[in-house]
Structure 1
Amino acid sequence: MTAAAEAHHATGATITVHLEMGTGALDVLDLLCGKSGVPPHRVVLGHLNRSPDLVVHRQAAEYGCYLAFDGPSLAHHATDWRMPEAVRALADAGFGDRVLLGADTTTAAARSVDGGPGMPCLLRRVRPRLAHAVGEELVERILTENPGRAFGTEWR
């Protein structure tokens, strides 16, 4: 984390954090944003779908970081069906602009159009379910505007 913070301070690049099982979000934010001085809007916390703790999600969003629900295409994850509820809770609390989606595609097969499940699943299966929960307008922003802000270049 210290090296990531130093790299951020040298480059301005966004720091993305792999939270194993979606836990430790607040500790990571205390370290990166508190101790190391990284602006919260330059931090993305990943795998929050794996820990459907809506209180922690909201507390992390209150920091100002981005929350990535980036594993919903893996059908064997028992928490995937809760992801729309978590996104709706964040949106209802005014944090829809802090949400990111992804497919955690770490293998070539998962990234391929004909492979599975990856991005095709995210767009064909997850997007409609999420749109049903929070509306198409917010889903469109989550897929376009939010990542643009999260990963956009900041000039000093």
Structure 2
Amino acid sequence: MFDLLMASGVLLAVDKYICSFQRWLPGHLASVGNPEHVKTIRLFVTWRVLPALRARAERSNITPGVLRNTAEQVTYATTFLTWLDKRDRTLDSCRQSDIDAWYAQNAEHARQRLRAFLTWAMRSRQCSRSLSLPAMKISRRAPCSAPRCMRT
């Protein structure tokens, strides 16, 4: 029904995946115990995550995979802030040794999902701008030959 109303111009067009993310976020934030972390995550979502989602929606369709990636960025940012707490650090006091330890302790998936948060944090001066993020590993699988890939 809403799709028809948006298509006809009666309602302003909105992306259902952005709406889904915005419905998910309050529940996630409610699960975060530290009010400073909630504040930081809200800033990240407001200034980095939602603008990126909206820009993506203008260029092309948002897919369930894009939505999952976006939620994981927020989840890993929250996990990182909690991890810093356990090291008696805040985002503001985060050091290069903390970044290096996180990267050493976590799989590539976690590193990739956290990267947007750390980049935003440095640019917005939530943490030191002199921190260095290890290069992302770009792995390409060998092309799959037809006989090997086909299953009978």
Give 1 or 2: higher helix fraction.
2
Highest CA radius of gyration, 1 or 2? 2
- Give the structure-2-normalised TM-score: 0.26
Give 1 or 2: higher strand fraction.
1
- Give the structure-1-normalised TM-score: 0.25
